[in-house]
Structure 1
């Protein structure tokens, strides 16, 4: 069914966003550049003037589409976390961090256009300790919030030392985002799935070992 047929009176804004998501996915990594409000209006079967009554400009529309991408990434990671079912608290916390990393990179590779757009429009974390309530809620309901909660859980179960917790979220985020970008457009983009998986697993294992080392325990590998 085409997007135009899916449009119903009174829901034009949502229809335009849905059409924008479709365009981004169709064009992959270059998806954001392919989004034009006039073209989306044609897709949903309305005049471009009608479309401009819902969005002040293209940037506002891209922000809405980026929000869809961020929500999709958050839900993809949450789905992975929901399947863990590990009774041991320490292993559960370690596995959760690993699944967040796996899910992040997997989403980037599977939905490159939405992934790029989502982070192009990600709210600035400058001055994070003094965030406005609305921004704080946005961050908490994002992969960054999932990551922070996973790291806090590692501290709670005694795997990550409290004095090693500050800034750990940026170490983890830099690692998985850097790998995602290397696979998407860097010198690693020609690697096959098995090679990419090996690199991701090795990097996540190194992070896990490093965090366990902060408490000096003889922690077994996750396997």
Structure 2
């Protein structure tokens, strides 16, 4: 495959090219596949060129993880976009929350390498709100979840006093199932069993809130 030479990059484009190459590697093999030498080779530059934008491999991998989160956000957005119109605001709000979980689980199953990479090196919630993690809507996966929960309150489905902290309960539940299915003892579930588990989990989350 032909690679662009470094001289073809405009200001700022090299960083995007390196992140894009790293994202492709993560898609293929998870975070361990994001090797600096291979990233620069795919971007068509020398390894030293990466240090113009990233202090070290850890910094590059962190940027790739944010790009993986942005793809996760787009998976959630696609799930929400498929919700059919409905006159009942409560039904729509419930559907949007379930779509967040469904999009999350679908992404883990179809893009396991990126899913494993999406949260590498994150020490707190600051990355959950950065623009680099946002999808087409401008919202990150965490913000899409928050918006869906706010919609439950606005439609009268969820009492306002039960809203604080609901993100952490929903997120941990869905993330746990996703990890069990791609890296844990639930790897052996077939597609029908996974769909059943996902449906029951999302129902449990909604009712548990």
Is contact 1:90-1:159 (8 Å) kept? Answer: yes
Secondary structure, aligned partner of 1:102: helix
Match of 1:215 in 2: none
* Count of residues paired in the alignment: 200
- The 1:74–1:136 alpha-carbon spacing in structure 2 relative to 1, beyond 3 Å, is closer
1:16-56 Cα offsets, whole Å, 9 max, x none, are 211111111111xxx21122212222223322222322322
Match of 1:145 in 2: 143
- Deviation of the 1:210 alpha carbon: 3.4
RMSD of the alignment, in Å?
2.3
Q: Is residue 24 from structure 1 mapped to residue 26 from structure 2 by the alignment?
A: yes
Question: Aligned ranges for residues 100-119 of structure 1 at < 5 Å?
Answer: 100-119=100-119
Is contact 1:101-1:176 (8 Å) kept? Answer: yes
Cα distance between partner residues in 2 of 1:205 and 1:108: 19
Structure 2: 5+ residue stretches without partners: none
Is contact 1:3-1:19 (8 Å) kept? Answer: no
1:142-180 Cα offsets, whole Å, 9 max, x none, are 111111111111112111112222222111111100000
Bigger radius of gyration among the two: 1
Is contact 2:61-2:120 (8 Å) kept? Answer: no
Match of 1:120 in 2: 120
Q: Is residue 178 from structure 1 mapped to residue 176 from structure 2 by the alignment?
A: yes
TM-score by length of 1: 0.81
Secondary structure, aligned partner of 1:4: coil
Structure 1: 5+ residue stretches without partners: 126-130, 212-223
- Deviation of the 1:5 alpha carbon: 4.1
